[in-house]
Amino acid sequence: MRLMIISAALLFACRYCDAAYIDSVRGEVDLKKSGSSEWTRLAGDQKKTPLDAGDEMRTARASTVVLFMDDGSKVKLAPLSAFKMSAENKEAVSIGLFFGRVRSWVKKFSKKFEVRTPSAVCAVRGTDFMVSADAEGNSRVEVYEGSVLTGDSRGNSSLVREGQFSEIPSGGKMKDPGDNPNEPSDMNSSIGDARQAARAEIYGEISKEDVLARAQEEMQSAEYQNRKVAIDAFGNRVRMEEYTIRPAADQFKYVVLNTRADRFDFGKILFTFNTDLPEDLSQATLTMLSSPGTTAPEWQLTAMNSVMSNTADKVTEDAGGGAMVYNGSLTDPRFNLVFGNYSFYAAGPAEANDNGGLGKLLWTKTNYNVPLNTHGSISYLGGSAPVADGSFPSGEDVFHTFAKNTYGDGTWIAAQDFVLFNDGDLLSTGDFSGGLGAGDTVDEITDKLNFQRIYTSSLFSGRTINVMYSAKLLKEIGLLRF
């Protein structure tokens, strides 16, 4: 009876206090309120800011934020982390950790408390524990006091006790809890480095506001930039803004933004290498796909992550385990780029959170030799190869192609590709010889060219993804050569 009276008193008191609120901010911490598309930078002295269900927060490098719950529980978000207050009420608190680390000190006899990651769910009542999630969707839970009931996406669960840890691989079975040799980690440092956040940003930020805000920040330190206005294949004026930036010493990212009168589209590609990149990017990109000779190149592409989006729908590609593999040829010895795995996804709003935010998996290749377009094996949505349709809508001598794949479950996706000049005219096979004859060099012709890709899909509810980008910037960073 005494416990019931105390509980009733606490519930009554909570009607007059903030259920969850920000207690302290260090560095660059952003807040996006539920229902809003805008991120707001929090001031260092901004305390007692209430948090509601659906609110999201993210921290930059060397930045942290501490939250308090009405029952006395405390949560600290580490640098380079992002989470969502999925639920917060008198009965339960649920935190969704997208990436990074969060440590929670949960009071005994508190409300139900859980932390969810792309691969795990951790439920507790009264404990001190840390949950981390990396860029690949793998999770780890460490318990410093009490115990945490931890489960994976396959329905397996186990109790992780004080002094133990468990790892939960993305899409796999959680490992049995074992003794944790590590002391509680410093929450003022990030789980890894900026590479983690860079990959998560590629797939996670697709709203126009988020994309433009980050672009405005990154363009100030961009290595290569290009701005131009051109005509697309359908006569529409497109303002293109392109740039490259290095999120980490071994990475570079290419971004293109398209603004038309009635729409906004964008594309991003993140390249990760085995070692720090040289000052001149072309030294690394020159042998990124294939390198002649019997000596492996110094810089090798290990991962590639990309997204194309209209801010509602997206197409993503995720490749990892990359290395340069020697072909053993006596007549043409060379090293070729081989990805251990390469996957292709598509998503409308309904599929946006599938597979850790990548979307609906359409196909995946293993041991994919990029230059030769060969692979060890391939798996398709629906279990069998899709029905393919392809054509040259403007004629076989014009750089305009159409390709469509329809998968076993009925899902389909189609892509149109164009190569065109700034005035919207399509490139044909005779233009290079004609241009050179008029005095233009190959470089000069290339600088007038643009590429345009349009995706349509059964997942997009009639919408299209329409991205146009220039040959000039790709040439400057070494990704396009003649």
Is the whole-model pTM more than 0.85? no
Choose the weakest-confidence range: 35-39, 169-173, 435-439.
435-439
Choose the weakest-confidence range: 181-195, 227-241, 333-347, 382-396.
181-195
Q: Which tens digits make up the pLDDT trace of 24-38?
A: 888 889 899 988 878
Domain boundaries, the chain: 17-179, 194-476
Measured CA to CA in angstroms, residue 278 lies from 109, 249, 258, 283, 382 at distances of 56, 9, 29, 7, 43
Q: Looking at the domain that runs over 17-179, which CATH code has it been given?
A: 2.60.120.1440
Q: Which amino acid is at 174?
A: M
DSSP-derived pairing of the beta strands 92-106 and 112-116 = parallel
Measured CA to CA in angstroms, residue 469 lies from 67, 151, 152, 412, 441 at distances of 43, 44, 41, 25, 21
Q: Which tens digits make up the pLDDT trace of 293-308?
A: 999 999 999 999 999 9
d(CA 384, CA 378): 10
d(CA 434, CA 430): 6
Q: Which tens digits make up the pLDDT trace of 223-246?
A: 888 899 999 999 999 999 999 999
Give the three-state DSSP class for 237: strand
Choice between 154 and 2, residue whose per-residue pLDDT is larger: 154
The reported pLDDT for the residue numbered 90 is 74
